[in-house]
Amino acid sequence: MKTFDVFQLPNGSYRAIKYGFNWAPLFFSWIWCFFIAKIYGWGSACLSFFIIGRLVGTLIDPTHNPSDLFFLILVFGVFEFSFAIWFAANANNFRRKKYTELGYKLVQKLVSAPNRHQAILIANKDCNNNNEFEVKLQQGARNLAGSLRNLKSLKKRNILNEAEFKAAETRAEEVYEQQRKTNEQQKRLSEEQVTKQKSQEKLDNNLADLKLMYEEGIINFYTYAATKRRLFRKKFWDNYWGSKK
């Protein structure tokens, strides 16, 4: 299971950026920067390293001292490879920082999913659920405002006296407050249900991996049983402390 941050771009599309190592920029650093990630500063730096690496052999006359040429190529090769590994390990962080600086909307942070597509689907589902509750709250506020306007209109036309107006106004505010609390409670329960579902999925994946290692003889039965018990205990305490928050 991998972890992603999901962003929404201005054109309405979504990008899921993974945490951890990215293999693409390890082998195609400047190509990945220019044509995929759109981080042109780092792309220029990677392209410069690439060009210098291809030209380094022309800096020394091989007829003068062949060992100097070999040593220079070796040193720069090691440096270039080390830079490539470092850049691949941090490439996703650079892309995430670039999206944040551009003001792209962070739809959801730290989404656990097997791939980018699933991460986007999960983030969209959670976002839609949140939007649904926000819509209900806004609708409740509009209903309250409409009710108060109607009551004031009835009071101005002397259909309601002052006492009746105050009682109706108080009742309208109480109804709105009750609906708001109900919506917040439903939202909290929905979030707890999603958290429990993700916890169960994570446990199932860990158990499946553990069973596979046992069946392949990578771990013995005692390690398998002990690790399995630890996973169940961890899930129990995570749910326990989560319910206390």
Residues 185 and 203 in one domain: yes
- For residue 129, the model assigns a pLDDT of 58
Domain count, the chain: 2
Residues 127 and 99 in one domain: no
Residues 7 and 104 in one domain: yes
- Rounded distance, CA 1 to CA 226, Å? 22
- For residue 82, the model assigns a pLDDT of 86
Domain that holds residue 28: 2-113
Residue that finishes a domain, picked among 113, 131, 155: 113
Residue that finishes a domain, picked among 113, 135, 160: 113
Residue that finishes a domain, picked among 67, 97, 113: 113
- For residue 176, the model assigns a pLDDT of 83
Q: What is the pTM of this model?
A: 0.47
Residues 162 and 97 in one domain: no
- Rounded distance, CA 149 to CA 219, Å? 71
Residues 127 and 240 in one domain: yes
Residues 37 and 133 in one domain: no
78: left (phi over 0), alpha (psi -120 to 50) or beta: alpha
- For residue 188, the model assigns a pLDDT of 74
Residues 104 and 134 in one domain: no
Contacts of 53 (CB under 8 A, 6+ apart): 76, 77, 80
CA angle (3 as vertex; 33, 229 as ends), nearest 5: 150
Count of C-beta atoms within a 10 Å radius of residue 6: 25
Residues 156 and 240 in one domain: yes
Residues 129 and 105 in one domain: no
Residues 128 and 29 in one domain: no
Residues 98 and 133 in one domain: no
- For residue 132, the model assigns a pLDDT of 61
Residues 24 and 127 in one domain: no
Please, are residues 126 and 173 in contact by the beta-carbon 8 Å criterion? Answer: no
- Give me the residues of the chain with pLDDT under 70, please: 56-73, 126-135, 190-191, 194, 239-245
Count of C-beta atoms within a 10 Å radius of residue 177: 12
